[in-house]
Homo-oligomer: A and B are copies of this chain.
């Protein structure tokens, strides 16, 4: 069965539905003919916006509420075939500055969601988007799923706990869940204002503005990157494939890049300057060094491979933000 067939006419809830991942996913789900409900708290600075869903605004149901409110979830999970749990606080730095908020938004909210499903919809299938940050400093590269989890920031701890909730409810109550550990995802509809959504968004904004990109400590750090369309495909495969249920998987890219190399690719599409600066102390304590993930486990089960490489992805991304300058980065 094709993905389009799998979702046609099905009832889908997307938490964080107005955010970067959620809106791109929603656009694809609408194209597949799904009945889509987007849940979002629209907490300022988290990245959600109505503009993100402007292509599908009249084809989805939008429900503004906060997942810390368990009662609204008790209603919203009912009758859903699929729930993509994408909502959350993603900034590593913010998680250190306001750890209680990170805990509430990542742990309490996810607990409320799985509990709502236990009470009202045990037959649902869920997918949770976690993060490579749960591994902390890589002890070997590429990082596989059995790598020890030693998070070095509050966000990594809380995302790990949320993974465990999903997998526990899968194992205990049969509420099927797949966990994807995302790496750096980039593309249209990401919040690129401010410094909360990772270095790629900061570099992109500076590059678009023709300003100076600062590479910390020389920029030799290695990272892997997924274009958002590939992540959307991974999510659709992950939630429909029986072999993914109750398991966690890395995403990742076919090759890794140093930050210098990333900037060099970006220079093909934008004119900007680059400088090297010492590593700021508050950034250093939550930096994980070099990272790239092994996604062969997920590939083995679903056949997924990233289809868009960094160059093609950045070209599309830059074009999108140039077209929507006043919304995202002016």
A residues in contact (CB < 8 Å) with B:
70, 96, 99-100, 103-104, 107-108, 111-112, 115, 146, 148-149, 151-154, 157-158, 160-161, 164-165, 168, 171-172, 285-286
A160 to B146, CA, bound (A): 17
Contact A161/B152 with A70-B100, A100-B115, A107-B107 known, Cβ cut-off 8 Å: no
Residue of B99, B112, B285 touching A111 (CB-CB under 8 A): B99
The 4 closest A-B pairs by CB, nearest first: A157-B164, A161-B161, A172-B285, A103-B111
Contact A152/B171 with A99-B115, A100-B112, A107-B107 known, Cβ cut-off 8 Å: yes
- Residue from A96, A164, A286 whose CB has the most chain B CB atoms within 10 Å: A164
Q: Least Cβ distance of A136 to chain B in Å?
A: 9
Check B157 against A161 for contact (C-beta < 8 Å).
yes
The prevalent SS among residues of A at the interface is helix
A100 to B112, CA, bound (A): 7
Contact A107/B161 with A100-B70, A100-B112, A112-B100 known, Cβ cut-off 8 Å: yes
A161 to B156, CA, bound (A): 10
Known A100-B108, A146-B148; further 11 A-B contacts with Cβ < 8 A: A100-B115, A103-B108, A104-B108, A108-B108, A111-B154, A151-B164, A153-B172, A157-B168, A158-B161, A160-B161, A172-B285
Check B160 against A96 for contact (C-beta < 8 Å).
no
27 contacts between A and B (CB under 8 A): A70-B100, A96-B172, A99-B111, A99-B115, A99-B165, A100-B111, A100-B112, A103-B107, A103-B108, A103-B111, A104-B108, A107-B107, A107-B161, A108-B108, A146-B148, A149-B149, A151-B168, A152-B168, A153-B168, A154-B165, A157-B161, A157-B164, A157-B168, A158-B161, A160-B161, A161-B161, A172-B286
- Residue from A154, A168, A172 whose CB has the most chain B CB atoms within 10 Å: A168
Cβ of A171: which chain B residues have Cβ within 8 Å of it?
152
Q: Least Cβ distance of A251 to chain B in Å?
A: 22
A158 to B164, CA, bound (A): 9
Cβ of A152: which chain B residues have Cβ within 8 Å of it?
168, 171-172
